[in-house]
């Protein structure tokens, strides 16, 4: 009995130690400890998103963010630099005030689009009209003089301000179907209305301003409560403003019923000429300095909100991972680099430029991890079409504690991403770039490129999870005695039966926004 008890004890001890040695890598342990007990995420988020704000390419705030990141890395003992890769039209956002002044008074929720011309320090008041439904471009040309001195509404009036999920929850099946059918008919009619003018949504605002319109009013609803997507203006002299669905609907209905609708707009902004654009790059030198493991996230954003989840959260993940790695793994076997890219939003420009400018790094890249689809926990990793990605990614993921990786689905060999975010700039030259893809948290409707992409949408526990994951994957990729393989898998045939093609490298736009 006593002997059996001893044996049982010995067995338990052995089981315990083998489980211990499997999961407890001291560096992984330290990464988890530092990330959970000394997290800097909230502080970094506040400094970047609240104190600096949105990071539109060519804006002073983008430059401020680049300088802030260099200062942060320097403070952590990590050498960092801003690498110039191009030039952009410089523009600084000022105040936007949009008020309905007739038939009654109401301050409207809205903002000028990025790169919108200003009202020259004045408040401009004018009647509101709706772009007309004409027979053809000749009829539209004849109508155009009517735009003189007016604010022109150029978006469709949405039949509902309730998102579809709300209709699905509360509406009868019949009324939901009826609304959707009505919306389709209205949307098709609006598309036809714009087409009949002889212009596109891009050229119409310019035609209207040439005809003397004093401003363009639109509403790019993002199909959720309170959300609009805010992109760039096409006008060159008069402001283009985006107004919330609710206020746009009000203006539209009042204008349609001939109620004498007038608005006042003040849009301040400054043209800053042609300004340099940068990537911020930071580096922890490896004992084998000429092999690289990279972290990657674009740094720029649209400016309707503060770019909190696109891509503030990806930025925070990479900065926090770098900070932690420097503290707990200061002498990596390969060089760790982080790229905070400029102008992803206009076509992956910063990362494409880096790939063009640093062939020596790209050629010796062990792996790159990019994150850019919101605040959620990473739930998908694809092998991006590399035949042997399964081997090394699985090997590295094995070191990640279960808590952190339990939601992750992997796909091997996967298909090479042709765009969407900066990993694709690397995949295009057959370098091992991977995407740490997040759980949605209603990203597409509610935060991506919207006026509500702000600090409060960040789910810090998920971001913390991702910072640990990124740091552990980098650590494992640095330590791996094997170099990663770039052998491509045979891609599945296209729908038309042709052999699948690897995405092609596209050139960075080095001078933008100046047309």
Binding site for Zn ion (CB under 5 A): 310-311, 372
Using an 8 Å Cβ cutoff, are 128 and 217 in contact? yes
Question: Environment class of residue 208 by beta-carbon count within 10 Å: exposed (0-12), middle (13-18) or buried (19+)?
Answer: buried
Q: Which is nearer to Zn ion, 209 or 372 (CB)?
A: 372
Cβ 324 to Zn ion, closest distance in Å? 23
Q: Which is nearer to Zn ion, 286 or 339 (CB)?
A: 339
Establish whether the linkage from the previous residue to 311 is cis, with ω within 30° of 0: yes
CA distances from 61 to 56, 119, 142, 150, 300 (A): 7, 22, 43, 33, 10
**Rounded (10°) angle between helices 313-328 and 460-479:** 50
CA 313 to chain centre: 9
Whole-number Å distance between alpha carbons of 253 and 251: 6
Cβ 385 to Zn ion, closest distance in Å? 22
Cβ 365 to Zn ion, closest distance in Å? 21
Whole-number Å distance between alpha carbons of 246 and 263: 15
Q: Which is nearer to Zn ion, 264 or 447 (CB)?
A: 447
Q: Which is nearer to Zn ion, 39 or 421 (CB)?
A: 421
Cβ 13 to Zn ion, closest distance in Å? 50
Q: Which is nearer to Zn ion, 325 or 470 (CB)?
A: 470
Q: Which is nearer to Zn ion, 161 or 420 (CB)?
A: 420
Using an 8 Å Cβ cutoff, are 223 and 159 in contact? no
Cβ 374 to Zn ion, closest distance in Å? 9
Using an 8 Å Cβ cutoff, are 296 and 318 in contact? yes
Cβ 319 to Zn ion, closest distance in Å? 16
Name the residue with tokens 């063009």: 356
Q: Which is nearer to Zn ion, 110 or 513 (CB)?
A: 513
Using an 8 Å Cβ cutoff, are 221 and 245 in contact? yes
Cβ 121 to Zn ion, closest distance in Å? 34
Using an 8 Å Cβ cutoff, are 48 and 61 in contact? no
Q: Which is nearer to Zn ion, 76 or 299 (CB)?
A: 299
Q: Which is nearer to Zn ion, 291 or 422 (CB)?
A: 422
Using an 8 Å Cβ cutoff, are 392 and 484 in contact? yes
Q: Which is nearer to Zn ion, 159 or 420 (CB)?
A: 420
Phi/psi at 158 (5° precision): -65, 140
Torsion of CA 244, 248, 249, 255, to 10 degrees: 170
Cβ 178 to Zn ion, closest distance in Å? 36
CB contact set of 109 (below 8 Å; sequence gap of 6+): 243, 244, 246, 247
Using an 8 Å Cβ cutoff, are 299 and 340 in contact? yes
Whole-number Å distance between alpha carbons of 295 and 475: 11
Q: Which is nearer to Zn ion, 247 or 310 (CB)?
A: 310
Cβ 62 to Zn ion, closest distance in Å? 14
Both tokens assigned to 93? 């956002």
Cβ 484 to Zn ion, closest distance in Å? 25
From the list 216, 69, 79, the residue with the least C-alpha distance to 150 is: 216
Cβ 305 to Zn ion, closest distance in Å? 13
């Amino acid at each position: 009995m006593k002997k059996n008890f001893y044996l049982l004890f010995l067995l338990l001890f052995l089981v315990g130690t083998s489980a211990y040695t499997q999961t407890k890598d001291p560096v992984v342990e330290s990464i988890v400890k530092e990330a959970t007990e000394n997290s800097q995420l909230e502080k970094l988020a506040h400094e970047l998103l609240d104190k600096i704000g949105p990071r539109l390419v060519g804006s002073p705030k983008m430059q401020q963010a680049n300088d802030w990141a260099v200062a942060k890395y320097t403070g952590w003992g990590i050498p960092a630099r801003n690498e110039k890769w191009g030039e952009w039209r410089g523009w600084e956002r000022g105040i936007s005030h949009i008020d309905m002044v007739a038939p009654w008074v109401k301050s409207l929720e809205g903002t000028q689009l990025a790169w919108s011309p200003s009202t020259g320090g004045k408040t401009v008041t004018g009647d509101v009209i709706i772009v007309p439904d004409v027979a053809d471009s000749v009829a539209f040309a004849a109508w155009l003089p009517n735009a003189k001195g007016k604010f022109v509404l150029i978006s469709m009036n949405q039949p509902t301000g309730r998102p579809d999920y709300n209709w699905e929850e509360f509406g009868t099946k019949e009324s939901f179907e009826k609304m959707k059918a009505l919306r389709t008919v209205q949307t098709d009619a609006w598309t036809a209305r714009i087409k009949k003018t002889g212009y596109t949504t891009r050229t119409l605002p310019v035609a209207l301003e040439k005809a003397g319109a004093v401003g363009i009013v639109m509403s790019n609803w993002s199909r959720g409560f309170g959300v609009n997507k805010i992109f760039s203006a096409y006008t060159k002299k008069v402001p283009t403003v985006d107004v919330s669905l609710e206020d746009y609907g009000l203006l539209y209905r009042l204008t349609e019923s001939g109620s004498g609708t007038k608005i006042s707009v003040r849009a301040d902004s400054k043209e800053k000429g042609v300004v340099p654009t940068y990537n911020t790059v930071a580096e922890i030198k490896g004992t084998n300095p000429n092999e690289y493991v990279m972290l990657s996230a674009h740094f720029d954003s649209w400016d309707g909100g503060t770019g909190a989840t696109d891509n503030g959260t990806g930025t925070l993940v990479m900065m926090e991972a770098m900070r932690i790695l420097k503290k707990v793994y200061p002498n990596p076997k390969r060089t760790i680099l982080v790229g905070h890219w400029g102008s992803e939003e206009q076509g992956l420009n910063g990362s494409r430029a880096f790939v063009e400018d640093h062939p020596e790094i790209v050629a010796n890249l062990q792996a790159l991890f990019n994150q850019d689809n919101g605040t959620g926990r990473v739930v998908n990793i694809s092998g991006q079409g590399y035949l042997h990605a399964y081997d090394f990614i699985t090997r590295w993921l094995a070191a990640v504690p279960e808590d952190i990786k339990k939601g992750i689905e992997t796909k091997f060999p996967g298909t090479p991403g042709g765009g969407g975010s900066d990993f694709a700039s690397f995949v295009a030259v057959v370098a091992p770039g991977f995407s740490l893809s997040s759980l949605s948290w209603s990203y597409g409707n509610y935060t991506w490129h919207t006026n509500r992409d702000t600090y409060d949408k960040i789910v810090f526990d998920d971001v913390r999870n991702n910072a640990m994951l990124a740091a552990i994957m980098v650590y494992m990729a640095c330590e791996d005695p094997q170099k990663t393989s770039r052998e491509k898998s045979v891609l599945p045939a296209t729908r038309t039966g042709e052999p699948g093609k690897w995405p092609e490298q596209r050139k960075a736009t080095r001078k933008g926004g100046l047309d």
